[in-house]
Amino acid sequence: MVGSHRRWSGIRLASLFMVGTMTIATGACDDDDVTAGAPEVPGPAYSGSVRVSALDNIYRPEALKVVTDTEVVWSNDGRNDHNVIENPDNQGSDDAGFGVETADFAPGDEYSATFPTPGAYRYFCSLHATATAGSMRGTVVVVDADSATDVVEG
């Protein structure tokens, strides 16, 4: 309901946190899977060109599932400068062509990268987070186009 406020008890928040943590932890496959440990991203995988909005202190969506060779465009829709910094613990990122670091981009500007290799690519805005903490972090989960069951053109 629009405009309604709901109070959450500590128990409800703890339960919600535990469920969210379990979902992320169980989203992993075997050790050979390049997306092991990545957040489970419900819904279809996107292809073509997909947008991620860099708002003030959050990327929207925070996690995105795409097929190989999809272009992800980060647009600064906030009021402050942002950037997209690849998390240093990404595996296989050298093969993916995902930029290690972007320059800061101002409101209204964009940055894009194409993901040709399956994997889980974590990133963050170094102006508002770190690789391990803060709310301005995101993940692009790239799956092989041949194995994706539900694909939507972005």
- Are 66 and 38 in contact by the 8 Å Cβ rule? The answer is no
The predicted model gives 39-44 an average pLDDT of: 82
pLDDT tens profile 120-132? 899 999 999 888 8
Percent of the chain with pLDDT over 90: 38
Q: What is the pTM of this model?
A: 0.70
Query: Cα–Cα distance between 108 and 38 in angstroms, integer?
Result: 30
Query: Cα–Cα distance between 103 and 82 in angstroms, integer?
Result: 9
C-alpha pair distances (Å), 49 with each of 15, 22, 61, 70 = 36, 31, 14, 6
pLDDT tens profile 74-85? 999 999 999 999
Does 141 score more than 50 pLDDT? yes
What pLDDT was estimated at residue 27?
33
Q: Whole-number mean pLDDT of the chain?
A: 74
145 — pLDDT class (breaks 50, 70, 90): confident
Query: Cα–Cα distance between 27 and 21 in angstroms, integer?
Result: 10
